[in-house]
Amino acid sequence: MSDVTYTPPSVWTWDKDNGGQFASTNRPIAGATHDKDLPVGKHPFQLYSLGTPNGVKVTIMLEELLAAGHDAEYDAWYIDIGEGDQFGSGFTEINPNSKIPALMDRSGDIPLRVFESGSILMHLAEKFSAFLPASGPERTEVLNWLMWQMGSAPFLGGGFGHFYQYAPEKYEYPINRYAMETKRQLDVLDRELADKPFIAGDEYSIADMAIWPWYGNLALGRAYGDAATFLSTHEYKNFMAWAEKIDARPAVKRGRIVNRQSTETEQMLPERHDASDFDQIG
């Protein structure tokens, strides 16, 4: 191991020049940094987000609701976290934690703010009585796996993904530490999916929608560079079959490209205001 030993100071202080790729937007205080109103479209649901895994959870849910015939039309507005949009006054009014996604539900008499991706999934599922059983053991199992994702993914993203892909320098200890944990999590999923089609049982649910953008995209080689090869995700056969099955769903194909910028290999949809918006990308 060649890591340079770091001795923490007695009292930590903020160095604005330290932090690598995200140094310009990471800071140790909350609240707005500038005044900026958020746009409001014509639909009942106004989503302010970015196509990261947490954002994709919600756009998949909304597209699945629409595909199932529910009146869940929405406007999806692009929040550029690299430019600090999440610190605008309008955004922090919806989510004081300055993280995407944030949703305004204007379908009722009083607009309702909903933040944290798991909370948004539950809110929409309960509002439309879809993708979450109303009661009983089946509901508990879906919530078990939704909470598993909320608690586990930071080890994948903020742990493995950060140190493997985004940290300004690569260090053996944190990469090994979080690679081990990520593979343990993949093994958890693989074992659970050995004898059931979806993570919480026989029915597709918000648990699948929450887990797939993080772990499914990782397995399919869409996250953290060559991480799928590094982690040997192909070895988790049950999990891979599930990831490919979810990936093939039309609503998932739509949801995963919303609030994302186009790349050299894929055309994306930074904003979505109508179902016909997808026609422009073929």
Q: How confident is the model over 114-139, as a mean pLDDT?
A: 98
Q: pLDDT band at residue 3, thresholds of 50, 70 and 90?
A: low
| Largest Cα span, the chain | 60
Residue 145 falls inside a structural domain: yes
Based on the domain organization, do 148 and 213 belong to the same domain? yes
Mean pLDDT of the chain: 95
Burial class (CB in 10 A: 0-12, 13-18, 19+), 243: buried
Percent of the chain at pLDDT exceeding 90: 91
Q: Which residues of 20-35 are buried (b: 16+ CB within 10 A; e: fewer)?
A: eeeeebeeeeeebeee
Residue 106 falls inside a structural domain: yes
Based on the domain organization, do 170 and 221 belong to the same domain? yes
Q: What is the distance in angstroms between the CA of the first residue and the CA of the last residue of the chain?
A: 49
Residue 193 falls inside a structural domain: yes
CA–CA separation, 157 vs 243, rounded Å? 18
Which CATH number covers residue 58?
3.40.30.10
Residue 91 falls inside a structural domain: yes
Going by C-beta distance under 8 Å and a sequence separation of 6 or more, which residues neighbour residue 9? Answer: none
Report pLDDT digits (tens) over 223-268.
999 999 999 999 999 999 999 999 999 999 999 999 999 998 899 9
Residue 48 falls inside a structural domain: yes
Based on the domain organization, do 151 and 116 belong to the same domain? no
Q: pLDDT band at residue 80, thresholds of 50, 70 and 90?
A: very high
CA–CA separation, 55 vs 102, rounded Å? 9
**Domains held by the chain: number:** 2
The pLDDT of residue 17 is: 73
Residue 4 falls inside a structural domain: no
Based on the domain organization, do 93 and 65 belong to the same domain? yes
The pLDDT of residue 158 is: 96
Based on the domain organization, do 39 and 120 belong to the same domain? yes
Q: How confident is the model over 139-161, as a mean pLDDT?
A: 98
pTM metric for this prediction: 0.96
Boundaries of domain holding 174: 136-248
Based on the domain organization, do 236 and 101 belong to the same domain? no
Based on the domain organization, do 149 and 119 belong to the same domain? no
Q: How confident is the model over 145-153, as a mean pLDDT?
A: 98
Based on the domain organization, do 146 and 105 belong to the same domain? no
| Dihedral over Cα of 147, 149, 155, 158: its sign | negative
